[in-house]
Amino acid sequence: MKTIDSLGDLSGKKVLVRSDLNVPLDGTTITDDGRVRASVPTIQKLLDAGAAVIVTAHLGRPKGEPDAKYSLAPAAARLAELLGSPVTLADDLVGPSAKAVTDALEAGQVAMLENVRFDARETSKVDEERQALAAELAAFADVFVSDGFGVVHRKQASVYDIAQVLPAAAGTLVEKEVVSLGKAVTDPARPYAVVLGGSKVSDKLGVIANLLTKADRLLIGGGMVFTFLAAKGYEVGSSLLEQDQIDTVKGYLKTAEENGVEIVLPTDIVAADKFAADADAVIVAADAIPADRMGLDIGPDSATLFASKLADAKTIVWNGPMGVFEMEAFANGTKAVAQAMIDSDGFSVVGGGDSAAAVRLLGFDEAGFGHISTGGGASLELLEGKVLPGLAVLED
């Protein structure tokens, strides 16, 4: 994969950088700036090399047209604070404002184009439409740097097509993501343990199937665990359940046994009478969830069990919380997994998305983990063994 160093002398050149600034907002306030902070090293490296940097990114899911609530203004303001220098935000993506801002940009300065998903061509399934947008973006710059790991699994104009128009390379974040996740995907030190959570089994079908040929242990929590418990014939009450995936999960359990892969399920569950922070909650055995209650976290015995299964692991990958960590009463399972990873001597990867958000929300020191990914979906697809278009296009 080509890196920034392969682009040669960047002094005086304009570099278009695809960053991932898709941050959560409360109105116009960023509630987790992790992705903005992760974008800084690449931008700073380019500035230090004497380049002028033009940032492009998306935020939220606008419907292919401008929408003020998805403006990148909060991200531009936060990036300016982190860089300690102004970041000029254009009023549009490839229109008159973008042209004026990029034309005026000088070496050592940073500009940002407005939300790339304000243009429907960004995510178009029609190659020619994406290519037309890529050509317009390319007119602003001399080279392209792909640094939005959270979107490299997408065949989109600012990720894939642009890399076929301009000299292109991976940014330091994408490079770090590929190297770190590669340790877990290609030749993991063993024992290799994977912790999977989140709401749905169906979101992780390919990952589970792939891991059953690679991992030594799979620890299952979160909403998806109830489909596993149901597959074992247990009552799961009103917990989240994917009835149509029970047979698939039965197949996973059988394959795991045949392959010598240990699947670790909770032994107890925190069961609540409603989905709310003030719900009445009791701890019950995993095979005895009352019919009128829903599981919202793994129980304390399960937390201890999971920690013990991670204690000797040499590689740990975690994707998906163990419970509804946003509510304090149902955060303990997620806390236990995070702490066990910190306590481990092995190489630990937090696989982006809700897991990364949980690490920050629950106050853990990010330095305690080997790597915290910025891309939930991209991380999952790498773990699944898929070819990611935004990476493939950067190959030497």
Say which residue the tokens 């070819």 belong to.
387
- Percent residues over pLDDT 90 in the chain: 88
Confidence bin at 196 (pLDDT 50/70/90): very high
166 annotated ligand-binding residue: no
Lowest mean pLDDT among 25-34, 57-66, 207-216, 352-361: 352-361
Q: What is the pLDDT of residue 354?
A: 86
Does 146 carry a binding-site annotation? no
- Beta bridge partners, 295, equal 271
Q: Which residues of 273-300 are buried (b: 16+ CB within 10 A; e: fewer)?
A: eeeeeebebeebebeebeeebbbbbbbe
Under the banding of pLDDT at 50, 70 and 90, the label for residue 105 is: very high
Q: Name the residue with tokens 């092995």.
A: 346
Catalytic residue check, 377: yes
φ, ψ of residue 9 to 5 degrees: the values are -70, 120
Residue 44, Cα to own-chain centre: how many angstroms? 22
206 is in an annotated binding site: no
Token output for 295: 């599981």
DSSP sequence for 30-84: ES--HHHHHHHHHHHHHHHTT-EEEEE---S---SS--GGG-SHHHHHHHHHHHT
Q: Which amino acid is at 392?
A: A
pLDDT at residue 353 tops 90: no
353 is catalytic: yes
Among 353, 375, 376, 390, the one annotated catalytic: 353
Which tens digit of pLDDT belongs to each residue from 110-119? Answer: 999 999 999 9
Cross-sheet strand order for the sheet of 262-264: 262-264, 217-220, 192-196, 315-319, 347-350, 371-372
Q: Which helix (H) or strand (E) holds 195?
A: strand 192-196
Asked if the model's pLDDT at residue 40 lies above 80, the reply is: yes
Query: Among residues 18, 35, 121, 309, which one is catalytic?
Result: 35
Please enumerate in sequence order all residues whose Cβ is within 8 A of that of 128, keeping only pairs 6 or more positions apart, or say none: none
Q: Is 58 annotated as ligand-binding?
A: yes
Which residues neighbour 91 within 8 Å (Cβ) at sequence distance 6 or greater? 97, 98, 114
182 is catalytic: no
First to last CA, the chain: 5
Confidence of residue 182 (pLDDT cuts 50, 70, 90): confident
Q: Which fold has domain 4-171?
A: Rossmann fold (3.40.50)
Q: Is 61 exposed, middle or buried (0-12, 13-18, 19+ CB in 10 A)?
A: exposed
User: Out of 370, 377, 385, 386, which one is annotated catalytic?
Assistant: 377
Residue 386: the pLDDT is: 87
- Mean per-residue pLDDT for 154-168? 98
* DSSP letter string, 69-98: GG-SHHHHHHHHHHHTS-EEEPSSSSSHHH
Could you state, in order of their start, the residue ranges of all structural domains in the chain? 4-171, 179-384
What integer pLDDT is reported at residue 249 of this predicted model? Answer: 96
Gap between the Cα atoms of 316 and 343, Å rounded: 12
Q: What is the mean pLDDT of the chain?
A: 95
Tell me: domain 179-384, CATH 3.50.50.60, correct?
no
Beta bridge partners of 87: 110
Residue 117 near residue 93 (C-beta atoms within 8 A) = no
To the question of whether residue 61 is assigned a binding role by annotation, the answer is yes
129 is an annotated ligand-binding site residue: no
CA separation for the pair 152, 74 (Å, rounded): 23
Give yes or no for residue 396 having a pLDDT over 80: no
Average pLDDT over residues 59-84: 97
Neighbours of 83 (CB within 10 A): 16
Whether residue 55 has pLDDT greater than 90: yes
> What are the residues facing 17 on neighbouring strands?
55, 145
Task: Give the confidence band of 26 by pLDDT, cuts at 50, 70, 90.
Answer: very high
The pair of three-digit structure tokens given for residue 139, joined into one six-digit string:
């007119």
Task: Determine whether the annotation assigns residue 371 to a binding site.
Answer: no
- Model confidence at 377, pLDDT cuts 50, 70, 90, reads confident
Strands 217-220 and 192-196: parallel
Whether residue 14 is predicted with pLDDT greater than 80 in this model: the reply is yes
Q: Name the H helices within the chain.
A: 34-48, 73-83, 96-104, 127-138, 172-185, 205-211, 225-231, 246-259, 300-310, 332-343, 353-361, 376-383, 389-392
Q: Which of 200, 250, 314, 360 is catalytic?
A: 200
Nearest to 344, CA basis, from 176, 187, 192: 192
Question: pLDDT band at 375, cuts 50/70/90?
Answer: confident
pLDDT at 271: 98
Q: How far apart are CA 38 and CA 42, in angstroms?
A: 8
- Fold equal for 4-171 and 179-384: yes
